[in-house]
Amino acid sequence: MARIRRARRMNRLVLDIGSSAIRLAELAPTKEGYQLVRYFQRDLAIDPAMDEEEKAEQRKEVLQQLLKDAKVRARKTIAAVPGQSVFTRNRPLPPVPEYKVTQIVKYEIQQQIPFNLDQIALDYQVLGRTEAGGYDVMMAAIKVDVVEKQVDILRKVKRNIDIVDVSPIAAYNWLKHTGEFGDDGQCVALVDLGATTTDIVIQKDNQFRFTRSLHVGGNDVTSAVASNFNMSFAEAERLKREKGFAPTGDPKRDGRGGEVIGKVLARLVAEINRSFAYFRSQPGGGPVQRVIVTGGGACLRNMIPFLQRQLGIEVRIAQPLAGLAISPKAGDASEHPEQACVALGLALRCCQNVPIQINLVPPRVRELARRKEQVFYWVLSLATMYLILASIIPVTAQKADLAEERIKLLEGVIAAYDASLINDPQKKSDFEDDFELVSRDVEKLTSDVTTLDDKRRFRNSWLPYIQAINDSRPVRGLAISLLEAIVIVADNNTGPNA
């Protein structure tokens, strides 16, 4: 059954619709692992000052062109929502029957989120069992309105949603698949430096433990450059990509640009350290020993050495394409591989089970999809019935023609016997009485013939016997005056000596 579900999901459109770019990915299994069959990335020139309608319109236009370039026909889509929009918590639950876990999760989420359950989409995953026999559960919830924005964008390009993942969790799933986190039980943090937010995911003892979104990202750096150097957001973004760098610690070398960028990055580092400290204080937490960096912010020059110096622990950039075969249609992934983790994590869900399988499709959308699927199966059933009838009717019509010809033939035979029976088949024919009389005469004659035949067969021929006796008598002195016939019947009850 699991293979069937995965086979069905192979034909899915995978989209990472971010705040600065849209990415499309497609994986295919091979004997050695997976091949990245397609990968497209299109940047979004979105100024944070734009209103939401303008941002949505630009996303729609870029997405339409991307789908046209990729020539993708799949309708059902796997997409992700930003980590900052999702409430996520790891909770140990008491040892209760498994069917009660859903009820407890709903109760826990309702205590944490000031919305009714019909206003949110939620999901959870049991990560393992606790020492007390309970459940270690990761739960996630999001306001339906946030997901509806993603659904609206897809609807405008004639696509519908199948799975709603969470961006940092999708990146974690992919790097967990490639082995970036290792299996030595270390406390490893994934830091995804995005345009509007920075997402943190922490794994400890080879298990997902913690996630948090920070409201600091690459756009904050661009906005600071635009403000300090009196330029537009687009010009500042281009300057950041071409000449921007993280501070080296040498004020003369860094100059004013390094100072401006350094202030934003200092705020980012403070938030990261605060998150690490919070995790360390939690039950089951601990100090982060290694950091893996992904996202567009990792492309900033000197970023990795800067973070390593500021955090005081090992920091390295992720290698999401390591061991992955790349087809000619996926060349965009090689330009900025550190930005491909989310899209690859979403595409992985088409091919296999992933460590964290969250799906935040709103209940209304799920119910609508279920009804559409029912309608599809009804239409398919009716079409099948139509085809069956279309194949049966000609055969039935041919049989009806043969039956009609047979009826006409029999009517001709009946008409030759008694034409009045054609209009009233239940009527008794006048010839039946005549037939009965003739039949009785035939029976009487047959009986007479049988009697005479029996007499003929059992009669005796006396003349030969008389002639033989006459020939045997003496010539003179003997005359026969009387002959009698006697029938001697043997008695079966007597023996041979009776």
Domains observed in the chain = 1-88+139-179+322-361 (3.30.420.40), 181-317 (3.30.420.40)
Side by side, the strands of the sheet bearing 120-129 are 86-93, 135-143, 120-129
Q: Does 446 score more than 90 pLDDT?
A: no
Over range 223-244, report the average pLDDT: 92
Q: Does 16 score more than 60 pLDDT?
A: yes
Over range 358-368, report the average pLDDT: 80
- Please state, in angstroms and as integers, the Cα–Cα distance from residue 205 to each residue in 181, 182, 278, following that order: 10, 10, 18
- What per-residue confidence (pLDDT) applies to 492? 54
How many residues in total does the chain contain?
Answer: 498
Percent of the chain at pLDDT exceeding 70: 87
- What per-residue confidence (pLDDT) applies to 106? 87
Q: Distance (Å, rounded) from C-alpha 264 to C-alpha 473?
A: 166
33 touches 325 (CB < 8 A):
yes
Over range 280-304, report the average pLDDT: 93
Lowest mean pLDDT among 48-57, 178-187, 261-270, 367-376: 367-376
Lowest mean pLDDT among 72-86, 95-109, 191-205, 254-268: 95-109
Q: Does 485 score more than 70 pLDDT?
A: no
Q: Distance (Å, rounded) from C-alpha 199 to C-alpha 105?
A: 24
Q: Distance (Å, rounded) from C-alpha 435 to C-alpha 421?
A: 16
Over range 45-56, report the average pLDDT: 83
Lowest mean pLDDT among 15-24, 35-44, 384-393: 384-393
Q: Which residues contact 481 (CB under 8 A, 6 or more apart)?
A: none
Lowest mean pLDDT among 37-41, 388-392, 427-431: 427-431
- What per-residue confidence (pLDDT) applies to 496? 47
Q: What count of other Cβ atoms lies within 10 Å of the Cβ of residue 148?
A: 16
Average pLDDT over all residues of the chain: 85
Give the model's confidence band at 119: pLDDT under 50 very low, under 70 low, under 90 confident, else very high. Answer: confident
- What per-residue confidence (pLDDT) applies to 497? 47
Q: Does 411 score more than 80 pLDDT?
A: no
- What per-residue confidence (pLDDT) applies to 2? 39
- What per-residue confidence (pLDDT) applies to 3? 42
Lowest mean pLDDT among 229-233, 262-266, 272-276, 471-475: 471-475
Give the model's confidence band at 14: pLDDT under 50 very low, under 70 low, under 90 confident, else very high. Answer: very high
At 365, the amino acid letter reads: V
Q: Does 373 score more than 80 pLDDT?
A: no
Give the model's confidence band at 46: pLDDT under 50 very low, under 70 low, under 90 confident, else very high. Answer: confident
The H or E element spanning position 171 is: helix 167-178
> What does the radius of gyration of the chain's CA atoms come to, in whole angstroms?
49
Q: Transcribe 209-264 into DSSP letters.
A: EEEEEES--HHHHHHHHHHHTT--HHHHHHHHHHH-B---S-HHHHHHHHHHHHHH
Alpha helices, DSSP H only, in 312-461? Answer: 332-335, 341-348, 363-417, 420-423, 431-458
E strands present in 49-144: 76-81, 86-93, 120-129, 135-143
